[in-house]
């Protein structure tokens, strides 16, 4: 039977987590570390120690922005952002989900948008999220300003090779 560390490493399919020597550069550069239950370095240590349930139930994995500052700063190129993505998927598969209100709904809307067009279509993602969360009007006044400043496009480009994107989703579903 696989250990938690082996399972995460296999699913990351990159630099093994054991290469982390806990320099904490990932944590020092993380823009959301101060909001996390456990900082990124601590999550790596918890995985190494086999603390599966504690990691998958933590709010930390859902607060990662996937900005990749951590891997940019890591001297060993341990991909913390990819690790967090894998941990989120493992939590979903385990039926744990997210503790934070509506984070899982946002995650699902985001992935649905990528699956449909290969890229994020922000207006469609926002509509899906708003419908799933039931939070329809709390920030509606932000959209016109974002549109006028060019921060929000009505139509997003689609990827040229949508079949490849859909194949990736199909592969991850069966693994």
Burial class of residue 37 in the structure, from the number of CB atoms within 10 Å of its CB (0-12 exposed, 13-18 middle, 19+ buried): middle
The per-residue pLDDT for 174 is 53
Domain that holds residue 51: 4-93
Residues 16 and 68 in one domain: yes
pLDDT in tens, 89-102: 999 999 997 877 78
Residues 30 and 8 in one domain: yes
The per-residue pLDDT for 51 is 97
- What radius of gyration do the chain's Cα atoms show? 18
Residues 121 and 67 in one domain: no
Question: To which H or E segment does residue 65 belong?
Answer: none
Helices (H), ranges, 66-121: 69-73, 80-93, 103-117
Tell me if 98 is assigned to some domain.
no
The 3-state secondary structure of 129-165, one letter per residue: HHHHHCCCCCCCCHHHHHHHCCCCCCCCCCCCCHHHH
Tell me if 89 is assigned to some domain.
yes
Last residue of a domain, one of 43, 69, 93: 93
The total of structural domains in the chain comes to 2
Residues 122 and 158 in one domain: yes
- Distances in whole angstroms, Cα of residue 76 to Cα of each of 14, 72, 73, 149: 11, 10, 9, 39
Residues 87 and 152 in one domain: no
The per-residue pLDDT for 111 is 85
- Collapsing DSSP to helix, strand or coil, 120 comes out as coil
Provide the CATH number for the domain around residue 59.
1.10.1060.10
Handedness of CA 163, 112, 104, 152 (dihedral sign): positive
Which residue ranges in the chain fall short of pLDDT 70? Answer: 173-175
Last residue of a domain, one of 72, 93, 114: 93
**What pTM was computed for the model?**
0.73
pLDDT in tens, 52-78: 999 999 999 999 988 999 999 999 999
The per-residue pLDDT for 113 is 84
| Euclidean distance between CA atoms 161 and 42, whole angstroms | 38
Tell me if 42 is assigned to some domain.
yes
Residues 170 and 118 in one domain: yes
Residues 88 and 47 in one domain: yes
């Amino acid at each position: 039977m696989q250990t938690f560390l082996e399972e995460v490493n296999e699913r990351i399919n990159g630099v093994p987590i054991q290469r982390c020597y806990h320099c904490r550069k990932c944590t020092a550069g993380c823009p959301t570390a101060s909001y996390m239950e456990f900082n990124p370095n601590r999550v790596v240590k918890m995985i190494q120690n086999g603390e599966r349930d504690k990691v998958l139930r933590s709010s930390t994995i859902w607060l990662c922005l996937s900005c990749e500052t951590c891997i940019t700063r890591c001297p060993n190129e341990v991909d913390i952002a990819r690790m967090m993505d894998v941990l989120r998927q493992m939590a979903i598969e385990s039926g744990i989900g997210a503790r934070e209100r509506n984070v899982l709904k946002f995650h699902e809307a985001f992935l649905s948008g990528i699956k449909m067009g290969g890229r994020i279509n922000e207006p469609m993602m926002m509509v899906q999220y708003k419908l799933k969360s039931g939070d329809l009007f709390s920030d509606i006044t932000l959209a016109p300003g974002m549109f006028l400043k060019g921060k929000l496009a009505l139509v997003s480009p689609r990827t040229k090779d949508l079949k490849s994107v859909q194949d990736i989703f199909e592969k991850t579903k069966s693994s």
